[in-house]
Structure 1
Amino acid sequence: MGTHLITGAGSGIGAAVARRLADRGEDLWLLARDAGRAKELAGEFPGARTLVGDLSDPGKLSWALGHQPVPDRLDSLMHIAGVVELGAIGDLGTRSWQRTIAANLLAPAELTRLMLPQLRMSKGHVVFVNSGAGLTAHAQWGAYAASKHGLKALADSLRAEEHGNGVRVTSVYPGRTATPMQASTHQQEGKEYDPTRWIDPQSVATTILTAIDLPRDAEINDVTVRPGR
């Protein structure tokens, strides 16, 4: 049985991964933005433990985690939470950029830094759920794509630095997936949302579990998941 710390377990891909791991009897630690959300997650995943830390304020994560029990070892750290705010480069102000970069790039970097000793101890696995926007940027997606391009660089650098410590690093690049964030994105785009057109979160969860379950003789560095219809 492994020990896994997951961000974004409240919905979408994160919830699908957490449920699959819970069904396997794995030991779950779920990061919540506040105490109220932590209580909700504990109710949704009986037996899981929760940590409170606001990804929108990465500078306070060290203080927050220093004032509560944390796992003493980790088999995986899964960065699944994220935010998206669309807008043209000429229209987006610094606050939009700061919110996006903080949640999608700085928080994963800081949480990884804080959890590296536990990951090194167990020769664990860091999974970054990136996005197709982390490989190709389109109009209106500048801030989000920049954060996700940065997340790819973070993963690549971490992989090179931690290979000798036995820590594996995987980036997953899903296309549009039927999640609450996708519904919000469609609303921002002014489009009708039809979840049947997009990837089921369970399919992305299967991809993530395949990566962490892979025998130690191999490592999935990058994997792209695209809608099949």
Structure 2
Amino acid sequence: MGVYLITGAGSGIGAALAAVLTARGEEVWLLARDEARARELRIRFPGCRTVVADLAEPGSLRGKLEAQELPGRLDALLHVAGVAEAGRVDGMGAEVWQSTLAVNLAAPAELTRLLLPALRAARGHVVFMNSGAGMYAPPRLSAYAASKFGLKALAESLRAEEYEHGVRVTTVFPGETDTPMQVRLHEQFGLPYDPDAHMSAASVASAVVTALDLPRDATMSDLTLRPGR
């Protein structure tokens, strides 16, 4: 049985990953922004364990985590939580940039740093859920794309640094996926939403699990997924 910690398990791809891993009997830890969300996650995923910390405040993560029980070894840390706000560069203030970079980039970096001892102990795996916007920056998504370009850089540096410790690092670049975030973005762009034109969160989760289950002599460093139609 492996030990996995997932952020963003409240919906979308994170919830799909939590469902897959709990169904196969793994020890699953879920990070929640507050105790109310933690209770919801424990009800939704019986047997999971929760950690409470707010990714919107990366500087508070160390204190929050040190005050709670954490796994001594960690087979995988899966960074799935993320935020996106559509808007032109000339219309987005500093608060949007700060909040987006905090959740999507600074918090994953800090959470990884804090959990590296447990990951090294298990020769574990770090998965960063990126985006197609992490390879190409579309209009009206500059803050989101910048955070995802930065997340790609974080993954590449971490992969090189942790090779000697046997920690594997995978970046996942999914195209449009049927998640609440996609619904909100379509609304912000004023576009019609067709879930059948998107990948399911379960399909993305299945690909991530394939990367996690690779034999130790291989690493899927970058995984790009696109809708099948």
The normalised TM-score by structure 1 is 0.99
Structure 1 residue 9: Cα displacement: 0.7
- Structure 2 residue aligned with 1:86: 86
Q: Mind listing any 5+ residue stretches in structure 1 that lack a counterpart?
A: none
Residue 113 of structure 1 aligns to which amino acid in structure 2?
R
Gaps of 5+ in 2: none
Tell me if 1:154 matches 2:154: yes
Describe the superposition over 1:174-211 as per-residue Cα deviations: whole angstroms up to 9, x where unpaired: 00100011111111111122211101111100110010
Structure 2 equivalent of residue 177 of structure 1:
177
* 1:60 correspondence with 2:80: no
> What amino acid maps onto 2:168 in structure 1?
R
Q: Deviations over 1:4-55 (max 9, x none)?
A: 0000111110011110001110000000000000000000011100000101
What is the CA–CA distance in structure 1 between the aligned matches of 2:189 and 2:62, rounded to whole Å?
Answer: 36
Q: Which amino acid aligns with 1:17?
A: L
Partner amino acid, structure 2, of 1:173: F
* Distance (whole Å) between structure 2 residues aligned to residue 187 and residue 81 of structure 1: 20
For 1:186, the equivalent position in structure 2 comes to 186
Which residue in 1 is equivalent to 2:212?
Answer: 212
How far apart are the structure 2 equivalents of 1:183 and 1:65?
A: 32
Residue type of the partner of 1:185?
L
Give the equivalent residue in structure 2 for 1:129: 129
- Aligned to 2:83, the other structure's residue is in SS state coil
| Secondary structure at 1:101 match in 2 | helix
- Which deviates further from its counterpart, 167-176 or 84-93? 84-93
Q: CA–CA distance in 1 between the matches of 2:64 and 2:97?
A: 24
* Count of residues paired in the alignment: 229
SS in 1 for 2:162: helix
What is the alpha-carbon distance in structure 1 between the residues aligned to residue 227 and residue 47 of structure 2?
33
Amino acid aligned to 2:141: W
Runs of 4+ in 1 over 3 A off after TM superposition: none
Aligned to 2:3: 3
- How much has 1:222 moved relative to structure 2? 0.3
Q: CA deviation at 1:138?
A: 1.1
Report SS of the residue matched to 1:47. Answer: coil
Aligned equivalents of 1:44, 1:71: Cα separation in 2: 21
Question: 1:65 offset after TM fit, Å?
Answer: 0.5
2: CA distance between counterparts of 1:183 and 1:138? 17
User: Mapping of 1:23-62 within 5 angstroms?
Assistant: 23-62=23-62
- Per-residue deviation at 1:142? 0.5
Q: What is the CA–CA distance in structure 1 between the aligned matches of 2:165 and 2:53, rounded to whole Å?
A: 27
**2: CA distance, partners of 1:184 / 1:58:** 24
Which residue of 2 is the match for residue 120 of structure 1? Answer: 120
- The residue aligned with 2:199 is 199
TM-score (norm 2): 0.99
